[in-house]
Amino acid sequence: MTKAERAAHVAARLEGLYPETPIPLDHKDPYTLLIAVLLSAQCTDERVNKITPALFKRADTPEKMALVPVEEIREIIKPCGLSPRKSVAISELSKILLHQHGGKVPEDMAALEELPGVGHKTASVVMSQAFGVPAFPVDTHIHRLAQRWKLTNGKNVVQTEKDLKRAFPRESWNKLHLQIIFYGREYCTARGCDGTVCPICRELYPDRKRAVKTKK
């Protein structure tokens, strides 16, 4: 198969498996999504969803969060890991949203990336899932699968994002990003597949004998 044929096969299989793509992180608006995505760094979505109800009960807007002591935020989000850094980021970005953006999450990639604790991937998730702007957030799992399917040369997540955007139609990016995440969790996990085990890996490369050594 050519790369274009592989991409088409992947898109068709994922659409068949996951015609609906609910957002894994519980939220009610762009702000609560932003906070949930920030918390998800090096933490599972499942754990984030267990933590955010208590956090959002305490404060679910920039105005309210800006008034919560950092120590209190840290205590609530501690089970998520990296709580000292994340709690400061949540407090500081809430104040910035309040004072510089009228209490609203900006619908702008550059403005989002300027917020404390918000990198390109987090900003991409918010742009795609909160505002419906085409984006292709790439985490280490998507990076790994794209390498196994030879949709990227695997240099880094930045290159993988560019390669995936070229491989798939722009209008499919937001849904496909979630479909790949769902597929990776169910079929092509870090320990469960090495490029030779899961259905899509076998379909794309039926004669592959050796495990794929993915690059970080």
Whose CA is closest to 72, among 61, 83, 81? Answer: 83
Q: Is 121 a catalytic residue?
A: yes
Cα-Cα end-to-end distance for the chain: 25
State the Cα–Cα distance between residues 42 and 138, nearest whole angstrom.
14
Q: Which of 60, 121, 163, 175 is catalytic?
A: 121
Q: Which of 45, 139, 165, 194 is catalytic?
A: 139
Q: Is 139 a catalytic residue?
A: yes
CA 93: distance to chain centroid? Answer: 19
Q: Please list the active-site residues.
A: 121, 139
